[in-house]
Chains A and B, each alone.
Chain A
Amino acid sequence: MNKRKIVTLAVFVMVLIVLIFAVSQIILVLASHERSESQQTLIHDGPWSMEAIWRDENSSLYLISAKNDSIPDYYDVMAYIEVDNEWYTAQFNLRQNSTVVSLDSIDGDTYLTATAEMKNGSLLLKDINRLSDNILPESDEILLSVTLVEDPLPFEIQN
């Protein structure tokens, strides 16, 4: 291989490396922006945005939002989960810097985590990672929609 070919090859490889590095950074930055926007959509359109009752298709999971006194336009969300005809209560939290939600017990355990997204006005939970057995029926996805107030609700609301 002559000198000119080696130089051309070396320059080509270097340019390729720089290009791959630059493109990968651009992809990561775009993904970061998209994640940020998705989180803002959840905060502005999801259960954290208004006082409402959200219910899944099986009526075994309810989300009830109540005004957060310290953060303007933000609602804290409590989840009510039916397991074997018994209702359990948990906090429904949106993790910082992500679209990951978690069902956290009042005394410090996490029942499950999932990825959340808004879909046609409903809240879709997917990639469900159960950290506690049998807290929700086995399903890959859970779709929750805003529902009219039922009277009475099948559980007692915790303050």
Chain B
Amino acid sequence: MKRLCSLILVFVMCFSLAVTANAEEIPNEDVTNSNISPRAEEAVVYNAAWFYALRTYYLNSGAHFTSNTALESGMGYIYNQNTCPQFYIGLSRMASVGCEIAAVYNAIKHRGLTVPCASIIKTFEESGYLMTEGFLGSDPFAIGDYFDNNMAYQLTEYTNYNSFNTRVMDNIDTQNVYIVSFWNTDSIFDGLHTVCFYTTTGGNKLYVYNLTTGATGVASRNSLSSFVDSERFIVGYFVPRMGRLLDQ
């Protein structure tokens, strides 16, 4: 009987792990369903729990840290993940899956601190923030976890596009730093991308790192909706000030 009960318990635990992908996250603010398109509802289904299920640890992080530290010498901002040093991230490389790492690195640097990219990668690998050992990049929701567990500063997380868009656009003429993750197309098979962007005093623009394959600097955009729309939005973060402000 004990054996049977434990088997049933194991089954229930496995099942509950599998169905977390369908658990809908409760947004912080009231959202009427009439304003959410069918695609946005789909995006809600692919929420934090869905990404969490794909998280894996990478055990060889020590060797990567040594190699990555050697690659990282005098590196400034990451404007383009294809042309920056090709760090080892899990079983993949920077150009293929490094957008979350680049966004975290740029955001911290832009807010006045410098954490080496090699250190960020090591933490992502050791904390299980990579998805499928790095083959699918990193979990966008792990960016919040990274700051919660490793930095003295916490990010403000937005899982609702309208709230994030309002936060960004209402403060477009002041100095702010953000990170946003979004689906590339309507299909999850076309993948996702994560970028860091900032606004400046009187700038009235969004300056986006690592948006295009030919980027050699930041791309200036008039609005968030010019590169992320409500239907493809996954998660957005406001990054607080951390140290002295660096030149932009």
Chain A interface (Cβ < 8 Å from any Cβ of B): 3, 6-7, 10-11, 13-14, 17-18, 20-21, 25, 27-29, 31-32, 35-36, 39, 43, 48, 68, 70-71, 74, 76-77, 93-100, 102, 104, 107-110, 115, 127, 131
Select B210's contact among A14, A36, A96, beta carbons within 8 Å: A96
A25–B215 CA distance with the chains assembled, in angstroms: 31
Look across to chain A and name the residue whose beta carbon is closest to the beta carbon of B96. A36
Given contacts A95-B213, A107-B222, contact A32 B191 (CB under 8 A): yes
Q: Does B4 contact A (CB under 8 A)?
A: yes
Q: Is the CB of B54 within 8 A of A25?
A: yes
Q: Is the CB of A94 within 8 A of B212?
A: yes
Instruction: Give the chain B neighbours of A10 by CB distance below 8 A.
Output: 7-8, 10-11
Given contacts A48-B214, A68-B214, A108-B222, contact A97 B11 (CB under 8 A): no
Given A77-B214, A97-B81, A97-B184, 18 other A-B residues pairs in contact with their CB atoms under 8 A: A3-B4, A6-B8, A7-B7, A21-B18, A25-B136, A28-B189, A71-B214, A95-B212, A96-B81, A96-B193, A96-B211, A96-B212, A96-B215, A97-B99, A98-B193, A100-B190, A102-B212, A104-B221
Look across to chain A and name the residue whose beta carbon is closest to the beta carbon of B209. A96
Q: Is the CB of A108 within 8 A of B11?
A: no
The 10 closest A-B pairs by CB, nearest first: A98-B184, A108-B222, A110-B226, A31-B189, A93-B212, A70-B216, A10-B11, A94-B213, A97-B193, A29-B135
Instruction: Give the chain B neighbours of A100 by CB distance below 8 A.
Output: 184-185, 190
Q: What does DSSP make chain B's interface, helix, strand, loop or mixed?
A: mixed
B62 → chain A closest CB, angstroms: 25
Instruction: Give the chain A neighbours of B96 by CB distance below 8 A.
Output: 32, 36, 97
Select B213's contact among A18, A48, A127, beta carbons within 8 Å: A48
Instruction: Give the chain A neighbours of B54 by CB distance below 8 A.
Output: 25, 28
Q: Does B132 contact A (CB under 8 A)?
A: yes
Instruction: Give the chain B neighbours of A36 by CB distance below 8 A.
Output: 96
Q: How many residues of B contact A (CB 8 A)?
A: 46
A10–B13 CA distance with the chains assembled, in angstroms: 12
Instruction: Give the chain A neighbours of B15 by CB distance below 8 A.
Output: 13, 17
Q: Is the CB of A127 within 8 A of B11?
A: no
Q: Does B14 contact A (CB under 8 A)?
A: yes
Q: Is the CB of B213 within 8 A of A43?
A: yes
Per-residue 0/1 for B221-235: is the Cβ within 8 Å of any A Cβ (1 yes, 0 no)? 111011100000000
Q: Is the CB of A71 within 8 A of B193?
A: no
B7 → chain A closest CB, angstroms: 5
